[in-house]
Structure 1
């Protein structure tokens, strides 16, 4: 009641102003509560139970068992071997298309629609479609056979999971890059054009440096998306060998063995690896920002 009365009388605003606190920040309170309830609390709980193993060996038994088993610890390398190329290729594909799509031209809406279409399909539907398109009797192998080439093995291996990962990650990178390119003032490029700079020089000397921090951000989010790959690794990959990524032993521990402490420990390992990579990329992006600021002052 006192809080309600203070708000009605304007007392709360004055008290916050006395402490140099913007009262509109209170609007963030519902979002903070949701994030805390749906993300922070489950994460803290998962970390806590990872140190309560079912096996003997003390609180670190789950972690020791993971790294002492080469079959389990190799999932780290297999995850990196898949996630890093998927993120790099997805951003490399999305960036030039987003650069072209920032301008209005005939067919732009159709281009954007096609780029975003995989988002509506989902990874499971894409994997199911690949099992038909890239199978031994699919249209791609039929095309190769018709021109006298040997059939290829595009699914149920690393290649199939890589293709599926690129198909599901590229739309996210495209949306991000489209926003970053759209945020660049076109008048800067127009001014450079009037000074005689051709399109090649305008892109590499003006547009690319301005969009580079956003490009790193898009790469970071694409990497997070690629790390979470799971259905494709099972449906069109080799979940027991080449595409046994970290999400698979997490699922097996939690869903098949009901050992949530082991699943939490592996999830913590996955989180630490992601945070190390993302932290390095954030440091690189901040360095680029500082370099741009120093260059601007010069």
Structure 2
């Protein structure tokens, strides 16, 4: 049967043409992600020495490798929380018609366009011991000696917040824009204060969207690599799991171990996302009365 005849028969059965175009694309995307994952998974069970689980045993028995999970969580979770929570009041104020909304949105997107490397270079210029921040504070007598804000935990956290906040803000703004403002106006006519309207109407409708925003922000922060190297301490306080995977694969040339570390990294992310989505399933599910 020719392709044209097959499409005609499917069309007679009610199969939409758009669906016919989407199915091959979906299969291609699935293979694009599934093949590297499956290849890395089977490679992780082929260690240079020992049994199939030798790489995983080595990871969890080596404190230097095992601690990378906690170090990365200490960076990823706070960064995602700060980005999501900080985006709510700003997006809430800017939803609907707001003078200068396009300009502010454009300025907030600048860190995304600059990228992590340029952001890290900027942090080094401003927050390093010889940067402007320390020069001003020591010059006016607030500090006796420069405070260390880079090449450690705080430098990486600042970088993750700067680069991740615009992403979280745009998602939060889109969710808020989809909530029908007439719901709050109706509550106002019944005597609800602005705080009560936000707490009992807007926030319950926004919470499912915030859960998804947190998951995406967390994945972005948990996979931190260049910031941990440029403005962190890659061999110490910011020895994150992505650096461990890179070192074992490309410094020690142990690709099997590197794949195992990457698989553990994926499992940790999936566990956190699973817990958040489980919590999300208990929230309101349905239309918000607007675009969403």
TM > 0.5 fold call: yes
Separation of aligned partners in 2, 1:110 and 1:191: 31
Separation of aligned partners in 1, 2:5 and 2:25: 24
Specify the alignment match of 2:139 in structure 1. 146
RMSD: 1.7
Judge conservation of contact 1:155–1:237 (CA < 8 Å) in 2: yes
Specify the alignment match of 1:72 in structure 2. 65
Specify the alignment match of 2:205 in structure 1. 210
Specify the alignment match of 1:13 in structure 2. 11
Choose the corresponding residue for 1:110, options 103, 113, 116.
Answer: 103
Judge conservation of contact 1:101–1:112 (CA < 8 Å) in 2: no
Specify the alignment match of 2:235 in structure 1. 240
Separation of aligned partners in 1, 2:184 and 2:86: 23
Shift of 1:183: 0.5
Choose the corresponding residue for 2:41, options 21, 40, 47.
Answer: 47
Shift of 1:262: 1.0
Shift of 1:139: 1.1
Q: Which stretch of structure 1 is more off in the superposition, 238-247 or 199-208?
A: 199-208
Shift of 1:131: 0.8
Unaligned runs of 5+ in 1: 294-298
Separation of aligned partners in 1, 2:12 and 2:215: 41
Specify the alignment match of 1:284 in structure 2. 279
Shift of 1:189: 1.2
Separation of aligned partners in 2, 1:2 and 1:153: 69
Shift of 1:257: 2.6
Separation of aligned partners in 2, 1:41 and 1:159: 37
Judge conservation of contact 1:156–1:236 (CA < 8 Å) in 2: yes
Separation of aligned partners in 2, 1:180 and 1:143: 40
CA deviations over 1:76-100 (Å, ceiling 9, x no partner): 1101111111111111111111111
Separation of aligned partners in 1, 2:284 and 2:50: 47
CA deviations over 1:252-293 (Å, ceiling 9, x no partner): 122223322111100100111111111111110011136x89
Aligned length: 285
Q: TM-score, normalization: structure 1?
A: 0.91
Shift of 1:24: 4.0
Specify the alignment match of 2:250 in structure 1. 255
1:154 match: secondary structure? coil
Specify the alignment match of 1:296 in structure 2. none
Separation of aligned partners in 2, 1:148 and 1:52: 59
Q: Which structure has greater helix proportion?
A: 1
Separation of aligned partners in 2, 1:4 and 1:166: 52
